[in-house]
Amino acid sequence: MSLPFSSLDWVVILGYLVLLGAGAWLFTPKRTDTAKDYFLAGGTVPVWLAAVSVLSATQSAATFLGGPDFGYKGDFTYLGTNLGGLIGAVFVAHVLIPRFYAARVTTVYELLTVRFGTLATRWTGGMFLFGRVLAGGARIYLAAIAVSMVMASTVSAQGILIAATLLVAAAFFSTFIGGLRSVLWIDLVQFVIMVGSAITVLIFLRLSIPATNAEILHGLANAPGGVDKLRLFDFSTDLSKPFSLLAIVTGIALLYIASSGLDQDTTQRLLACKDAKTGARSLYVSVMATVPVVAIFITIGLLLHIFYDRPELMGGASAAAAHSFDGEKISIFMHYILTQLPPGLRGLVTAGIIAAAVATTNSALNAMSSVLIEDFYRPWREKRSPAEEHHYVQAGRAGMGVIGVAMLIVAVLSFYWQHYAKMGLLEFALSVMVFAYAGLIGVYSTAIFTSRGTVGSVIASLIAGFVTVLLLQPAIAAALGLPEAMRHLAFPFQLCAGSVVAFVVAAAPRGRSA
C-alpha cells in the first residue's frame, strides 16, 4: 500500500525548488559575452568544482534508483567497475586531455578537424548528439517514473510526460542564462542534496534493522544459496555478465575512456579548467570520489535485502517486498520509498531523485548545445556573414531549447521502450550510450595512434560501430541466427566488438582526404 504524499513532503519539495531557483539566480554570472564564457566558463574552473560537477553529472537517477536495486539483487561488483574508471582516467588524462588543450578546442570533436577535416568533426559531433539524446532521454524517463509514482501515486504515459516536462524545464532554466558556470555551481548544490538524501535513507534503514553490524555483515557474506553479497570482483569469464573483472578491464574501461574523453557532456568540464594538468587532476578526483558515493547506494540495496528477505535478522518478521506498482515494474528501492519512508523523508528522497535528474540533464543540455553551435551552426554562419560573439551565446541558449525538446520526446518513448527491456536500471542506462561510443572509440583510436583514415572511412566507421552494437542486441542476434555466444553478450563486450569493427573500418584506407 503506497503511503500518501504529505503536506510536509510538499514543503520539502518546495524548499528544494526555491533553493534551485535561488542557486540559478546567485550563480549566474553578470556578463557572458563569448561562447567560451558560456560553454567553458571562461576556462577558470578549479579542480574540486570540476570534479564535483563531473561526479554529479555522471551519477544520475539511474545510480540513485539502480544502485540499490543492484545491491539488493547482487553484491558489490558494480562498485568494482571503478577499477575500469581508473584505467580510463589514466588514458584520458595522459593521452586525450593534453591534445585537447594543445588544440585549444571548445568541443572534443574539433580535434578531428585538423586530422580529417570539418566533415569528420560534424559526423562525430552528430553521433554524440544522437547517442546523448537517447541516453539523456532514458535517464530523464527513469527519474520521471519515480517522481510520478512517489508524488502522484500513479504510473501512466501522461504522468511520465508531465514529470519529464517538469524535470527538463527545471534543468533548462537553471542553466539558460549563465551556461556552464551556472551548471557547475548548481551541480554542487544538487550533489549535496542527492548524497545527503541517500545518507539519510541509509541511516533510517539501518536503524530499522534490529541486528548488530557484525550479524548483518555475516548475513550478507552468507546469503541464501551460498552467495557472498560482499563480493567486490567477479572473476567469471562469462561474457553475459556486465560487471565481471574481465568486463571491467576491457569494455568498462573503454566505456570510461569514451564517457570521460570523447563525450562532450563530461569532457566539457575538464576543458573548462585553466590547463591540462588541472583538468587531469579533476578527472582523477572525480573517479576517486565516485567510490564512496556508489558504495552508499549499493549498501542501501544490501540493507534492503536484509529488511525484506532475511527475517532471522529482522527479529523474526520482515516486510513484504513487491516489484510492481499500478501495473508497472519497479525497483525494490522505489517500493521501499513508496511504502516505508515517513513524511518529510519521503519528500527529501524525492528531491534527491529530482536533483540527480536535473544535474544530469542541465549538463547534457549545455554540452549538446555547445556541439550543436560550435561544430555545426558557427561554421555554417561564418561562411555566410560575420556575427558578433554574443550572437553565439544567444544561439547556444536556443540550442538548449531544441535539445531539451528532443530529450523530452525520447523520455516519453522510453516509457514504452522499457516495457520490452529485460535488463536492470543500471544496465539500461549504461548500455544506451554504447551505440554511439563504439564508433567514437574507433575513430579516435585511428586519429591518435595511426596516420591512416579518410573522411569517408571516419563516416563509415561511425556507422559500422553503431550497426555492430545494434546487431549484437539479443533479440536481433537471435533473429539473425548468430552463434549462441554472441546472442547474450553483455554491453561491455558489445562495446569491445563495436569498437574493434569501427577501428578496422576507420583505419582501412591510407592517408586522408581533405
429-442 tens-digit pLDDT: 667 778 889 999 99
The pLDDT, as a whole number, for residue 471 is 93
pLDDT tens sequence across 12-35 = 888 888 887 776 666 665 555 554
Question: Phi and psi (nearest 5°) for 329?
Answer: -70, 130
Distance of alpha carbon 278 from alpha carbon 115, whole angstroms: 26
Which domains are seen in the chain, by residue range?
A: 7-432 (1.20.1730.10), 433-514 (no CATH)
Evaluate if residue 378 carries a pLDDT over 70. Answer: yes
Q: What confidence category does residue 235 fall into, taking pLDDT thresholds of 50, 70 and 90?
A: very high
Tell me what percent of the residues of the chain surpass a pLDDT of 90: 27
3-class secondary structure, 344? coil
Give per-residue pLDDT as tens, 30-59: 555 554 555 555 556 777 777 777 777 676
Q: What is the mean pLDDT of the chain?
A: 81
∠ CA 391-394-399, rounded to 5°: 120
What is the pLDDT at residue 272? 76
pLDDT tens digits, one per residue of 173-205: 766 555 556 666 777 777 888 889 999 999 999
**Residues 401-433: tens digit of each pLDDT:** 888 888 888 888 877 766 555 555 556 666 777
pLDDT of residue 176: 58
Q: By C-alpha distance, which of 258, 301, 214 is closest to 92?
A: 258
For residue 169, give the amino acid letter: A
CA distance 171 to 60: 13
Closest CA to 374 of 129, 107, 178, 40: 107
Query: What would the pLDDT profile of 253-311 be if each residue is shown by its tens digit?
Result: 999 999 888 887 778 777 777 788 888 888 888 889 889 999 999 999 999 999 998 88
Name the residue with higher pLDDT: 247 or 320.
Answer: 247
Across the range 220-249, mean pLDDT stands at: 92
User: Does 321 score more than 70 pLDDT?
Assistant: no
pLDDT at 513: 45
Exposure string over 305-322, b if 16+ CB within 10 A, otherwise e: bbbbbbeebbeeebbeee
Segment 469-478, tens digit of pLDDT: 999 988 888 8
pLDDT tens profile 212-234: 999 999 999 998 888 899 999 99
